[in-house]
Amino acid sequence: MKISKKAQSIPSSVTLEISAKVKQLKSEGKSIIGFTAGEPNFNTPDYIVDSAKEALDNGVTKYTPVAGMPELKEAIVKKFKVDNNLDYDPSQIIVSNGAKSSLFHAIYCLVDEGDEVILPAPFWFTYEEQIKICGGKPVIVQTKPENGYKITPEELDNAITDKTVTLILNSPSNPTGAIYTEEELKALAEVVERRGITVISDEIYEKLVYDNVKHVSIATLSPYMKENTIVINGVSKTYAMTGWRIGYLAAPKALAAAINRVQGHTTSNACSFAQYASITALSGGEDIIESMRLEFDNRRKYMCDLLDDMGVSYIKPQGAFYLFIDISKFIGKSFNGRVIDGSVSFASILTENGVALIPGLPFHADNFVRVSYAVSMDDIKEGFKRIKEFISKLK
Ligand SMILES: Cc1ncc(COP(=O)(O)O)c(C=O)c1O
């Protein structure tokens, strides 16, 4: 059967390949500690689950409006006001099947064939593939360690051409955990406004921030930024609701209307009872969310200490739940005669030695690997013991 050229140009996900390898090794009886998870290891809090059960019992099982239940959109409007000091009309909010779907619809409605989208690297690999699926051209800007792996106003200015439509910003970042300060965002916003482009601001990890660092949305910084930013968010990470598939965006009215039309022909509404439960999620439970955040923070500190003890460098994360480990000093070394020539071979050989993590290559950072701290403390202890042993055997 013919496979379209468009589909053929999309590579398979490295994460899925690693997961398949882990499955295979486990089926052969091997013990593997997985640090690949992009999701909290906590269950969804009971009160949210109960709310979905209640929705099912009450027959909330029908289509909802494409852009989401009015009550959920109201809860999202309130969330933006309270958390971000952003005022939106409900018509500017679109609820989708996860933030991934929100992002896709936003890119689809912004980008024409050949339009350029600026991506500061390292970045979450889905951005690049979604831009390509939509016919756009990713313009990758390699950020620098001395700037905390964040794009500078000069780098942004230099990357903009007359084909540039938008910049994708992700703060807190997957994979580096970097967070842009208000000052840094102001400086970027000045370039965005002067050059007349837009921003897609992926703020899915906004509540997972540490060391008293504050999350600021670039949309808050000027009337221009409010009118030219699409804010992406969702319940997956903050509320341990990855499987429920509820994401949302806030966009200027005309763009929101376009996204609504497109979504009406792609996925239509997100799951009705998951939307209902998301109203509950967004309307309280701060103490449970805080307890999950504190647990992530403990693990983050613990892992950083272990890496310090091992003499291994990493980017100290201020947010999200990933540690990006610098493996450059291991590249060129070998393990039992097998040479490590980059992050993929490092990850592959390490997986065979009992620890699965994500190579940095698809994030455009081949000198790094990503480990998640959304895993149990027991797994962290055992996994890092194995990593230490692995490293000690490299020649
Ligand atoms: C930066 C970033 N944005 C968006 C998402 C997608 O989240 P969702 O589960 O809501 O689709 C992820 C998930 O890994 C992510 O890391």
Domain residue ranges of the chain, discontinuous segments joined by + = 5-43+287-390, 46-284
CATH number listed for the domain at residues 46-284: 3.40.640.10
Q: What is the pLDDT of residue 22?
A: 81
Give the model's confidence band at 58: pLDDT under 50 very low, under 70 low, under 90 confident, else very high.
very high
Q: What average pLDDT does the structure give for the chain?
A: 96
Tell me which residue of 159, 214, 230, 145 sits closest to 188, measured CA to CA: 159
Q: Does residue 127 line the site of ligand 1, with CB under 6 A?
A: no
5-43+287-390 and 46-284: identical CATH topology? no
Flag whether pLDDT at 13 surpasses 90.
no
pTM listed for this prediction: 0.96
Give the residue-averaged pLDDT of 248-273. Answer: 98
Q: Does residue 100 line the site of ligand 1, with CB under 6 A?
A: yes
CA distances from 195 to 90, 160, 183, 188, 209 (A): 29, 8, 19, 11, 31
Q: Ligand 1 centre and the CA of 178: distance in Å?
A: 16
Q: Does residue 170 line the site of ligand 1, with CB under 6 A?
A: yes
Ligand 1 atom having least distance to the Cα of 101: 11
Q: Ligand 1 centre and the CA of 204: distance in Å?
A: 7
Q: Ligand 1 centre and the CA of 395: distance in Å?
A: 37
Give the model's confidence band at 74: pLDDT under 50 very low, under 70 low, under 90 confident, else very high.
very high
pLDDT per residue as tens digits for the range 114-151: 999 999 999 999 999 999 999 999 999 999 999 999 99
Q: Does residue 98 line the site of ligand 1, with CB under 6 A?
A: yes
CATH number listed for the domain at residues 5-43+287-390: 3.90.1150.10
* Residue from 129, 231, 237 to probe ligand 1 pocket by mutation (most atoms less than 8 Å from CB): 237
304 Cβ contact partners less than 8 Å away, ≥ 6 residues apart: 314, 316, 323
Report which protein residue has its CA nearest ligand 1's atom 14.
38
Give the model's confidence band at 21: pLDDT under 50 very low, under 70 low, under 90 confident, else very high.
confident
Q: What is the pLDDT of residue 18?
A: 81
Flag whether pLDDT at 236 surpasses 90.
yes
